[in-house]
Amino acid sequence: MSSTRALLAEEMAAIEWNAEFLGVTRFLMMENAGRAVAHEILRRFKQLPSVAIFAGLGGNGGDGFVTARHLAPRCRIVHVITLGDPSTSLNAPAFQNWEIMTKMRHSINLHIIRDSSELPKIEATVVVDALLGTGVTGKPRAPIIKTLQLMNKMEGFKVAIDIPTGIHPNTGEPTTKEAFRPDLTVTFHRPKLGLRKNKERVGKLIVADIGIPPEAELYVGPGDVIRATQPRPIFTKKGDFGRLLIIGGSSQYIGAPILASMGALRSGVDLVYLAAPPQVITAATSHSPDLIPVTLQSDKLVNDDLSPIEEALSNVQAVLIGPGIGDHHETLDTVGKLLSIANRMKKPIVIDADALRVVSRVMKIGSNTIITPHAGEFRRIRGINVAKPLLQRAQQVRDLAKTLKCIVLLKGPVDITSTPTETRLNWTGHPTMSVGGTGDVLAGLVAGFRAQGINSFLSACAGAFVNGAAGLMAYREKGPGAIAFDLGEYIPRVLADPMASPIAYTFRIPINE
């Protein structure tokens, strides 16, 4: 276990997806989890006459099945009581372990319960809760409530797998008065936040290693994208998934804000406003009628544009400033004023491209802001070249995040995203993405996620993964002629199935030296 920081349930779910993406299968993690629970039980009982394992039909139940298999050689009687028919409801690894267990007819007594009236009257030295895991946060339903009542009344030593059923994994609050009351809780990889917040309802807490590699947390993966892409309820209406304002463009750079807008729209944000000069608006709206134009007064951003932009800011959840905005002195002066206005309005901000020229190495921008420099822009802000060894470069990015008190996303062969305390590496992408415009698409993606209410750090991490995976897909299908505009075709594919994303670990990038 690499750290003792407690995790939210959704963070743990993302880590498990990332581990699977790295090749550590769910079946293997389930095997390690069940074996760890059995080990902790056997440590406490030299003789184990009987065990009763109450299992649900999700991954937690699968952990219980593995526990039963490992206890069977050392226990006279193993009862496994499942709530529902496992042959129709289990996920793949849990079903595989169920099938193994059904063949163990001499060592395991199976009880399939479809109604609480069918709960068996049994006694056991150890009672194991494998009903619901950290993926369930609502109040348990029948027959779980009746089952919990029975389990709590039993006299045996009580063990919870991962988290006691009926305890919220994030808050630690009971979701039912019948919540399981264990003597021992065996959780996996890291403690869950709810276990830390309600220690008296946990019993003794053991954190067991289940083989998740450190890279599942260090590397951005599909789990982070899954966290950033929320399901849409049936009664979702326009605006529920965010409004974003993009400020950019100039007479010299017309394409950058269009590419950023495309990236934002592809992120799933509902509405994108584009504040840009007239010639940019004409090109942008002809390309994409989805955009809502906010037309500036001249061929560049100037102070006279502050009033209409401030009005647009009041209608959005986030703002991206910079793509194609240019470096005219009045434009940069206006950018500085806009950043102050956005901060006063408490709007999340993404700063990209020439807008980064207003960022000073002595500023304190704030945790609600993401900056997205490439190596040259990083040098301009920080005053040093980025290091070649990856870990040294990552430390430089974290140092800048500490100085600015914000999120820094350094674009490169391996993207590095950092807060003042946490750093992630993204390995998706391809060298052909050095063509102009891919950074604009990335900025739009990041800002689009942020406008949907995703936290700044996750928005930056997920945006980097999606942008790089889409770029690698474009290269594989279109060859070295792939351009930034092509990414719009592949972003939806990545979002639809992040686990199918391509990833390149073959780059010869020095890690330590």
Q: Are residues 214 and 229 in the same domain?
A: no
Any domain includes 169: yes
Using the predicted structure, report yes or no on whether residue 1 has a pLDDT greater than 50. Answer: no
CA distances to 176, 476, 485, 492 from 480, rounded to whole Å, are 58, 9, 14, 21
Residue 366: what pLDDT?
85
Residue finishing a domain among 158, 190, 218: 218
Q: Are residues 400 and 450 in the same domain?
A: yes
- Number of H-type helices and E-type strands within the chain: 18, 16
Q: Are residues 249 and 211 in the same domain?
A: no
Between CA 388 and CA 509, with CA 212 as vertex, the angle to 5 degrees is 15
Residue finishing a domain among 164, 198, 218: 218
Q: Are residues 97 and 178 in the same domain?
A: yes
Residues 267-295 have pLDDT tens digits of 999 999 999 999 999 999 998 999 999 99
Residue 187: what pLDDT?
97
Tokens read off for 71: 């206890």
Any domain includes 506: no
Per-residue confidence band for 513, with pLDDT thresholds at 50, 70 and 90:
low
- How much is the CA Rg of the chain, to the nearest whole Å? 26
Q: Are residues 229 and 189 in the same domain?
A: no
Q: How far apart are CA 185 and CA 201, in angstroms?
A: 9
Any domain includes 510: no
Q: Are residues 145 and 284 in the same domain?
A: no
Q: Are residues 229 and 188 in the same domain?
A: no
Q: How far apart are CA 415 and CA 433, in angstroms?
A: 12
Q: Are residues 393 and 448 in the same domain?
A: yes
Using the predicted structure, report yes or no on whether residue 296 has a pLDDT greater than 70. Answer: yes
> Which CATH number do you get for residue 405?
3.40.1190.20
Q: Are residues 127 and 168 in the same domain?
A: yes
Please, are residues 246 and 261 in contact by the beta-carbon 8 Å criterion?
A: yes
Q: How far apart are CA 213 and CA 462, in angstroms?
A: 20
In Å, how far from its chain's centre is CA 355?
Answer: 28
Please, are residues 276 and 295 in contact by the beta-carbon 8 Å criterion?
A: yes
Any domain includes 44: yes
Peptide bond into 143 cis (omega under 30): yes
* Cβ neighbours of 232 (radius 10 Å): 10
Q: Mean pLDDT across the stretch 180-193? A: 97
Residue finishing a domain among 218, 249, 271: 218
Any domain includes 179: yes
Q: Are residues 210 and 137 in the same domain?
A: yes
Using the predicted structure, report yes or no on whether residue 2 has a pLDDT greater than 60. Answer: no
> Which CATH number do you get for residue 204?
3.40.50.10260
Dihedral sign computed on CA atoms, order 247, 252, 257, 263: negative
Phi, psi of 13 (to 5 degrees): -60, -40
Residues 374-384 have pLDDT tens digits of 999 999 999 99
Per-residue confidence band for 89, with pLDDT thresholds at 50, 70 and 90:
confident
Residues 444-503 have pLDDT tens digits of 999 999 999 999 999 999 999 999 999 999 999 999 999 999 999 999 999 999 999 988
Using the predicted structure, report yes or no on whether residue 425 has a pLDDT greater than 60. Answer: yes
Using the predicted structure, report yes or no on whether residue 343 has a pLDDT greater than 50. Answer: yes
Kindly give the pairing relationship between strand 48-55 and strand 126-130.
parallel
Residue 503: what pLDDT?
82
Dihedral sign computed on CA atoms, order 291, 297, 302, 304: negative
Which range marks the domain in which residue 56 is found?
9-218
Any domain includes 36: yes
Residues 324-342 have pLDDT tens digits of 999 999 999 999 999 999 9
Q: Are residues 304 and 192 in the same domain?
A: no
Amino acid at 439: G
Q: Does the model's pTM come out above 0.85?
A: yes
Residue 362: what pLDDT?
65
Residues 6+ apart with CB under 8 A from 372: 350, 351, 352, 356, 409, 411, 439, 442, 443, 446, 460
Mean pLDDT, rounded, of the chain: 94
Per-residue confidence band for 101, with pLDDT thresholds at 50, 70 and 90:
very high
The beta strand positions in 226-346, using DSSP E, are: 243-247, 271-276, 292-295, 318-321
Tokens read off for 336: 């500085």
Q: Are residues 102 and 210 in the same domain?
A: yes
Tokens read off for 198: 């309600």
Any domain includes 86: yes
Any domain includes 509: no
Please give the residue that has the higher pLDDT: either 141 or 333: 333
Per-residue confidence band for 135, with pLDDT thresholds at 50, 70 and 90:
confident
Task: Tell me how many domains the chain contains.
Answer: 2
Nearest to 463 by CA among 432, 429, 486, 499: 429
Per cent of the chain over pLDDT 90 is: 88
Beta strands across the sheet bearing 271-276: 292-295, 271-276, 243-247, 318-321, 349-351, 369-371, 407-410, 415-418, 423-426
